[in-house]
Each structure stands twice: as C-alpha cells, then as structure tokens.
Structure 1
C-alpha cells in the first residue's frame, strides 16, 4: 500500500543528499520515509548545466503504524487489563486486533466503547494520511460475533417484512454496523434495498422492497 503522508519535494547534489534533507525535515527515522525520484542529478560541462537530484518524499506505512502504536498505547493505559494488539494493513483498510484480560471494559455496554474507540482511531489515522483509510477495531473477535448477530437480526427483519410490511426499521446502530447491514442485504437479498435515516447517535437502517421505493 503506497500511502503518501505529508509529501514534499527535496533537492540535493545526489539522491542520498536529497533523502537526508527529507529525514531532517520530517524529523523521523529513514525507515519511515519512502521517495520517488523526480530528477536524477546531472553534471554539466565545467559546472555549466548542473542539475540537482530531486525526489518526492513522503511518510510511509511504517510511520503510520508507529504513530498508531503510540496513540493506541496511550489510550489503553486508561483501562485496567493486560492487552496485546496487532496492526495490519489490508488494501486501504487498517485492522487492529486486541486480545488479553479485561476485554469486557474495552467492548463496553452494547459495544459502545469499542465503537467510540474505533471512531477515535479513524479520526487519528485520517488526519495523518492524504488517502481515505478505513479503520476496523476487533476486540477478542467481538466484531465477528457481532456481525453474526447482525445477520440474524436482518434475517428476522426480512421475515417480518415479507409477512406484514413493505418496509421495516432496525434499531439505531453504529456506522460500521449499518455498513454490515447494507452489505449483507445487498448480497443476500438483492430484491430489497436499504437506507440509513436519522442523526447520530440514533441513526438507523430501513430495509424495504423495491416496490416501496417506487410508491414513494
């Protein structure tokens, strides 16, 4: 994944010299910077026509992981427990997995704490990157179990939809939960449509038949 964070052009007598300028400017380790060569250095005749090396340098994925490690570590210090976590990039997604003792406090009632923490991590990451990145936080496989529960909720709602109404409202959900509903309905129930309505934190999903949209 080629994430460009705070990119800037640098010049030097050589590629290495230009890169050293980039390291000084960003104030990070060399491993946290990638660069692309814009212009190779060229020596002219008797000093006439000399051209400097020019590179476009930018903070990379390792920089992102290091900063996210520091930020997440500071957050976890406020919780009692012994936690281990991993951070992995998958395309334009970051998956953060947490394991350990005391996970219940990280999840919170109805998953509110894990939802809020994911939101905070997403804001932090996207302030660093010029590319939109989705952050997914999973605590003790809570996300997988939650996804299965949402599937069950949707299946039951669809049964009631077919029996009684041409549309049905689900209870308010976090944005990542609503996204699961939209994707699940689109893949399993292509004859139905979904729509998010309301304002946070009470935003909810409506599942409806295509006919109900035509009537509206």
Structure 2
C-alpha cells in the first residue's frame, strides 16, 4: 500500500473528526485521499469518565492524494503553454505513468522532446519530495515516447556500427536519463561486445560507446 510523508497518529472522539484532523494535517483535498488504521478504539470509561480512552488512528496520504497533487502540479505548469491538455495518471509499483492528451501539443513536447523531458524530470523531483521511497515517473504525449524510442534505437544502431568499423569510441549528443537508458539497453542487448557509459553532468550528460567491453579503444 502506498504511504507518503510517513504515518502520523491522530486522536479524537469519533472517526469523522479524527479523519478531518488528518486531512488538514496533510493538506489533502478530501478524506478519500487519506488511508488509516485504528490502533485504539474509544471507550466511555467508568464512573465520571475515569478510564475513558479516545479513538486513535494511524493515517497517511494514499494513491489518490499523490495523483491529485501531481495533476495540480502539472496543470499549473501546463497553463503557461496556453493549450487545453487532459491529464491522465496511472499508478503501479512505485511508478507514475502520466498521459497528456490534446490538440497542438508540439510546444509541450518541444524540440527533440526537450520540454517533455524537462517536465518529466521536474515531476519526478516533485513526487520524490513527498516520500523517502523513490518513485519513477514516465510522462508521455500521445505516441511520442514510442516513436522517440524507435528513433533512439536507430541512432544507437548507427553509432554501434561506427564504433565497430572504426574501432574508435563514439560520443552521442546529450540526452535525458530515460533516453540514455534506451541507448544503453539497446547496445547491451544487440551489441554485447561493445561497452557503453554515461559521461558528463546534467543536462549535458551523454552516452559514449566503446568498441570493447573493457572500455578502451
């Protein structure tokens, strides 16, 4: 079960009021964004209230909380593009898959997907500030990712052939982490005798392909 920002105990006389406290504490938009478990049932006590016990729960933001926060975050950024964008988010196994749909979203994608990559990177930072557990964020517009993956594999294939024919290292252009991951995976699977490493600092980090497994020419 998804847990964000840690568990916090809340107490009160009834469940509704206690959940309202949790909602306010986590700045949730509705009670449905809060998951909880009861760790102490309330009791009336004995004569004059002696021994009376409050209701105590452990509560934490859940999947709905995360999704709604990310939607709000993205809407604020996308409003600057002056385009109507529908945001759909799926969550599974610590991965958020964000789909943006709409007309004329070329500005959102940007040249060679730079805007899309930056938006994904910012969203990942935003999400991971909510929890100590690392989350992965995958952001896509239509079939852009699929088409970009094909283009990157073609780039990787041509670079690999060049490294083999010249017996020299081949440096690719700077790429986002998800793009470099595609390059590494393609080379390692299709050209096991070649060696790939990522070099440089973001946002200029790039893949270098070496013609031998030990990383030397």
Name the TM-score class by shorter chain.
Answer: 0.7 to 0.9
Alpha-carbon RMSD across the aligned residues, in angstroms, is 2.6
Instruction: Tell me the secondary structure at the aligned position of residue 81 of structure 2.
Output: coil
1:209 to partner: Cα distance:
4.4
Q: Distance in 1 between matches of 2:2 and 2:15?
A: 20
Mapping for residues 88-99 of structure 1, pairs under 5 Å: 88-99=90-101
- Unaligned ranges ≥5, structure 2: none
Question: How far did 1:30 drift?
Answer: 0.9
Seen in structure 2, the aligned counterparts of structure 1 residues 43 and 201 have a Cα distance that, compared at 3 Å, is closer
Gaps of 5+ in 1: none
Q: Secondary structure at the match of 1:172?
A: coil
SS in 2 for 1:96: strand
TM-score (norm 2): 0.84
Q: What's the counterpart of residue 154 of structure 1?
A: 156
Shift of 1:77: 1.6
Aligned residues: 214
Deviations 1:140-180 (A, max 9, x none): 22111111101111111111122112532211111221122
**What is the CA–CA distance in structure 2 between the aligned matches of 1:14 and 1:81, rounded to whole Å?**
45
Give the whole-Å Cα distance in 1 for the aligned partners of 2:108 and 2:45: 66
1:178 correspondence with 2:197: no
Query: Who is 1:9 aligned against?
Result: 9
Cα distance change, pair 149–27 in 1 and its aligned pair in 2 (3 A): closer
1:55 aligns with 2:57: yes
Give 1 or 2: higher strand fraction: 1
CA distance in 2, matches of 1:189, 1:138: 28
Distance 2:195 2:53 in 1: 60
Alignment of 1:30-179 (within 5 A): 30-37=31-38, 39-41=39-41, 43=43, 46=46, 52-165=54-167, 167-179=169-181
Normalised by the length of structure 1, the TM-score is 0.84
Cα distance 1:142–1:192, how it changes in 2: closer, same or farther (>3 A)?
Answer: same
Partner of 1:77, secondary structure, is: helix
